[in-house]
Amino acid sequence: MIQFIWPLVFLLLPLPWLCHQLLPKAANRDASLYVPFFKSLSRIESVTPRISARNRLIAVLAIFSWLLLVLAASRPQWVGDPVQLPTTGRDLMLAVDISGSMEAQDIQLNGQNATRLQVVKSVVGDFVERRTGDRLGLILFAARAYTQAPLTFDRKTVETLLVEAEIGIIEENATAIGDSIGLGVKHLRERPETSRILILLTDGVNNAGEVTPTQAGELAARENIRIYTIGIGADASTTNSLFGPRTINPSADLDEDTLTRIAENTGGQYFRARDREELEQIYLILDELEPVEQEAETFRPTSSLFYWPLGLALAFSFLIALLRMPWAILMNLRRSTAPAASETDTDNLVEVQA
């Protein structure tokens, strides 16, 4: 069906007629026209019907142009049939660390060393695709936390935004875990209490932000938001040095105690992902979260139609301009006076009072 967003605009339809009736007419002034072929003017009576027909056409086009402009201004739109949205599912906010430490290549992906962020994109992308019926949101954090996608049923967009995330788009020299939790609480606190889930993934320790992870966890607990925390990074990695190969712990900065405490205080769980297989298993466990019933929601797809009447009005205005051009009038006069052009008119100049 067609709907009009601003139907009151139709009250402007009689505006041109009101202006014609109410505004004062232009003052008449005497004018003179000197015509050297006065007698020949009596032969062009056929011009009058042509000009009258042209003026009538211009008037009709002008009326239709005004009607179309008012129609376009009312913002018509086509409203489709109602579409039922999923009525079951969770509200999941995904908080992903993109600080500089996520660039460490201590995990293998497809048999080759890859950065931690690349592995996260691979596993979490599949997780997002499987969460049919859930509202998903995405938070990216480093020295600050930002909402990349609010809660939405559009899983494809969330997955695309995650894949496009790169280290360096946020100040990467610190990690604001507390701020990311606080931002997740802000998005989830208005949702049904039984469906509020925050999944936080990081490889470091909180060293930036306005809120500590403990404070943010307490706030989440008060809002009945369950937090699942994931620590990512290998326990051991071999590097070459001047003294030969040596083994280091690339996850030495991972604050597992704080992540565990946050998860336990909110009714969630802490997971440790040392490689891609463990990370994938973690998200398979999270994937088993049972959906809960929610209020049914529907939406109706809409598409704007204003450009159709607006385009027609523009085309009519061009046609009116062409009909009102002086050369069009002169062509009509020339065709009408062509038979009398061969006759000699020796009359003196005659003054015709206008």
Q: Is the dihedral of CA 252, 257, 258, 263 positive or negative?
A: positive
Question: What residue ranges do the domains of the chain occupy?
Answer: 31-79+303-353, 84-298
User: Is 60 exceeded by the pLDDT of residue 206?
Assistant: yes
Instruction: Give the whole-angstrom CA distance, residue 12 versus residue 254.
Output: 67
The pLDDT value recorded for residue 347 is 45
The verdict on domain 84-298 having CATH code 3.40.50.410 is: yes
Summarize pLDDT for 224-277 with one digit per residue, the tens.
999 999 999 887 665 555 555 666 666 778 889 999 999 999 999 999 988 888
- Percentage above 70 pLDDT, the chain: 76
Kindly indicate the confidence band of residue 51, based on its pLDDT and cuts at 50, 70 and 90.
Answer: low
User: Is 50 exceeded by the pLDDT of residue 343?
Assistant: no
User: Is 70 exceeded by the pLDDT of residue 33?
Assistant: no
Q: Dihedral, CA atoms, 274, 278, 279, 282, nearest 10 degrees?
A: -130
Closest CA to 59 of 8, 9, 20: 20
User: Is 70 exceeded by the pLDDT of residue 344?
Assistant: no
Phi/psi for 289 (5° steps) reads: -60, 130
Cβ count near 26 (within 10 Å):
6
User: Is 60 exceeded by the pLDDT of residue 178?
Assistant: yes
Instruction: Give the whole-angstrom CA distance, residue 227 versus residue 230.
Output: 10
Is 0.75 topped by the overall pTM?
Answer: no
Summarize pLDDT for 284-307 with one digit per residue, the tens.
888 776 555 556 667 778 889 999
